[in-house]
Amino acid sequence: MKEKPLILVTNDDGINAPGIRTLIDIMKTLGDVVVVAPDSPQSAMGHAITLDSTLYVEQVSANGSLQEEYSCSGTPADCVKLAIREKLKRKPDLCVSGINHGSNSSINVIYSGTMSAAIEAGIEGIPAIGFSLLNYKWSANFEATKSFVKTITENVLKHGLPNGVVLNVNIPDLDKNKIKGIKICRQAKANWVEEFDKRKSPQGREYYWLTGKFVNLDGGEDTDEWALENGYVSVVPVQFDLTAHHFIQNLNTWNLK
């Protein structure tokens, strides 16, 4: 009898977030599931790891071989590291992260704890996918995401991914019958125009709130931002090799001796 795929599930919104509960339910139809996720929200943590404090992991539920769940006091990247080194009996066949409450398209991938968890799995040679729904509310309805998450996951299990590549999947916040399909995209050139709202505490101490707006600087129709704005699920293959290969030859002409 063929062994079921072992699927590691994690996120950055915390183990009790509705998004990860939806993702767990989907993954249970595809394989054996182990969940290692933060015990509290860790959004926008990027690829932070815990170095100067203790890490705690607590088993919160078990259902035979079908599902085990652990909450972790650390970051999303910590969760993946601990899962692989301490909690999994073998290397997982897949790691899925999410479903995130909010967008991780374009430049947001840099800041995303959701995607950093997936990237950490990719560094370990594990096929990985980060899923996000464009709705930041805790009460977001994830029903429309289910068929797309399952389809993409099934294809990754079937075809695999190249070493060093993970998928960044974003899903528009629309009814299922209004989502036009899936588009393979590139990351749009966009950024945040940020400001700091300066305030003063009752004790007279100055403090700041980060504010700003997201600005799409890319007019291309092959980007994740275009796909999402036009009712498509965006799938962007992401690599964690940050080398600017196209500049190496030019850099070699500099007088650096």
Considering only CA atoms, which of 216, 214, 213 is closest in space to residue 225? 216
Do the domain assignments include residue 231? yes
Instruction: Identify the pLDDT of residue 50.
Output: 80
Domain tally for the chain? 1
Do the domain assignments include residue 95? yes
Do the domain assignments include residue 144? yes
The one-letter amino acid at 104: N
Do the domain assignments include residue 202? no
Considering only CA atoms, which of 218, 224, 123, 210 is closest in space to residue 171? 224
Q: Are 101 and 137 in contact (CB under 8 A)?
A: yes
Instruction: Identify the pLDDT of residue 63.
Output: 61
Instruction: Identify the pLDDT of residue 27.
Output: 97
Could you tell me the residue range of the domain that residue 101 belongs to? 6-188+219-251
CATH classification of the domain holding 47: 3.40.1210.10
Residue 254 token pair = 């500099």
Instruction: Identify the pLDDT of residue 148.
Output: 98
Supply the pTM of this predicted model: 0.91
Q: What is the pLDDT along the chain (257 residues), one digit of tens a residue?
A: 578 999 999 999 999 999 999 999 999 999 999 999 998 878 777 788 888 889 889 998 766 545 689 999 989 999 999 999 999 989 999 999 999 999 999 988 998 999 999 999 999 999 999 999 999 999 999 999 999 999 999 999 999 999 999 999 999 999 999 999 999 999 999 887 778 888 888 998 998 888 888 777 788 899 999 999 999 999 999 999 999 999 999 999 999 98
Considering only CA atoms, which of 156, 158, 157, 188 is closest in space to residue 170? 188
Three-state SS at 124: coil
Instruction: Identify the pLDDT of residue 62.
Output: 60
Do the domain assignments include residue 201? no
Instruction: Identify the pLDDT of residue 9.
Output: 98
Do the domain assignments include residue 198? no
Instruction: Identify the pLDDT of residue 66.
Output: 54
Do the domain assignments include residue 204? no
Do the domain assignments include residue 62? yes
